[in-house]
Chain A
Amino acid sequence: MKRPSIEVSGGGSGELLLDEDNNKRSRSGGVYIEAVAPEEEGPLAVAELGEDLVLEVLKRADAWTLGRAACVSRRWRRLAEDEGLWEAACTRDWVKVPCGKQQLRSVVLALGGFRRLHSLYILPFLAPSARRPGSGSLALALQPPVSGRSRHQPRWGKDEVQLSLSLLSIGFFEKMNPNTITRRLGGG
């Protein structure tokens, strides 16, 4: 089967080619080859990707994508704010998880969750060029080489991870009602 060899435009300027004529592609029998550019869409032609599959797609997404995904629709927001996805997005770039995964999960969830951890105590500490997704090639060249899929966030070592987790704990306790604390300590 011959397919047109067309470059798929990933991030960057990300221009979508829209099919202006709203072509409906009917499903006739037999073999036919769809000679369309990979991101051309007729609005009526897209199959409905169930929630499970959308969740699976988001499992492979980085934090920036999750942030944008939350703005797509109500259902996507619910999916994109799932703590499991944020756990994956955060820990993906950690060289080593400081304790057992289950333990980490319990603690972080009790202290406010991974999404909160990311927005308050991870994001502000990313190098300025790492914070901008799809930085120009010069900025990327100045960073230490990063392997694998995390093009945007450099790998975090033990110290950075511990710092964020500590700040998360402190932030949590600061928010606790001071009256509760004094009552507990003083009242017995």
Chain B
Amino acid sequence: MAKMIKLVSGDGAEFEVEEEVAFQSKIIKDIVADADDVIPLPTVSSKVLIQVIEYCRKHAAVNSFPLSPSSSAAAAASSSSSISYSKPVSDPALRAWDNEFVKLNNSSLFDIVIAANYLDIEELVDLVLETVADRIKGKQAQEIRRQFNIENDFTPEEEEALRRENSWAFQNN
């Protein structure tokens, strides 16, 4: 029987997950090393925690039971390397799963990346950041503001000057 770890979300819900699933989070791995099996996560809501656990479960399964020798080699290589982005997930089936996973609105994605950052789940942070970067690609400044809920704090003159300076970036598709 696999060892179970209990995660407690910010709003008090408890989730029991297998150790290897929970260990996708480096933070949790360290805490458990100090012999603590119940881990409170006050800053993570249930909704977000469920999604994070889903991701971890999928990736733990792939990492332990590689579908092919090449994907296991890639998994081993990626787990030993230091932080580097654009580290593509080699297994196409897993990549497809990841792409489905991130089909969420920005609000949910931000919640997930904040939680994954807190829990130190490198691949999930990377995945969401890549997704967000893709979403702002090709967008005008006003659309970026809308997506991120940012207030335009430039004066009209400043904005005009900036647009002129960066006019090359605004050529429409």
**Interface segment, one of B18-26, B73-81, B102-110:** B102-110
Residues of B within 8 A of A (CB): 11, 13, 45-47, 50, 54, 85-86, 100, 103-108, 110-111, 113-114, 117, 125, 129-130, 132-141, 143-154, 159, 162-163, 166, 168-171, 173
**Interface segment, one of A59-67, A154-162, A163-171:** A59-67
Which residues on the B side are within 8 Å of A45 (C-beta)? 107
Which residues on the B side are within 8 Å of A48 (C-beta)? 110, 149
A49–B110 CB distance below 8 A = yes
13 contacts between A and B (CB under 8 A): A5-B100, A10-B135, A13-B173, A39-B106, A39-B135, A45-B107, A47-B114, A57-B136, A60-B130, A63-B169, A64-B138, A69-B144, A72-B141
Select A38's contact among B104, B130, B152, B171, beta carbons within 8 Å: B104
Which residues on the A side are within 8 Å of B135 (C-beta)? 8, 10, 39
Which residues on the B side are within 8 Å of A123 (C-beta)? 168
Q: How far is the CA of A44 from the CA of B149 in the complex (A)?
A: 8
Select A11's contact among B54, B153, B166, B173, beta carbons within 8 Å: B173
Which residues on the B side are within 8 Å of A39 (C-beta)? 105-106, 135, 147
B133–A61 CB distance below 8 A = yes
Provide the main secondary structure of the chain B interface: helix
Q: How far is the CA of A3 from the CA of B138 in the complex (A)?
A: 26
Known interface pairs A16-B143, A46-B149; A41-B106 also in contact (CB < 8 Å): yes
A59 to chain B, nearest CB (A): 7
How many residue pairs between the two chains, A and B, have CB atoms under 8 Å in the bound complex?
174
Nearest chain B residue, comparing its CB with the CB of A80: B166
Among A18, A37, A66, A73: residue with most chain B CB under 10 A: A73
A64 to chain B, nearest CB (A): 5
B107–A131 CB distance below 8 A = no
Which residues on the A side are within 8 Å of B171 (C-beta)? 131-133
B169–A76 CB distance below 8 A = no
Query: How many positions in chain A have a CB within 8 Å of any CB in the partner chain?
Result: 67
Residues of A within 8 A of B (CB): 1, 3-6, 8, 10-14, 16, 18, 25, 27, 29-32, 34, 36-50, 52-54, 56-74, 76-77, 119, 123, 131-135, 149
Which residues on the A side are within 8 Å of B141 (C-beta)? 68-69, 71-72
Known interface pairs A27-B47, A46-B149; A11-B107 also in contact (CB < 8 Å): no
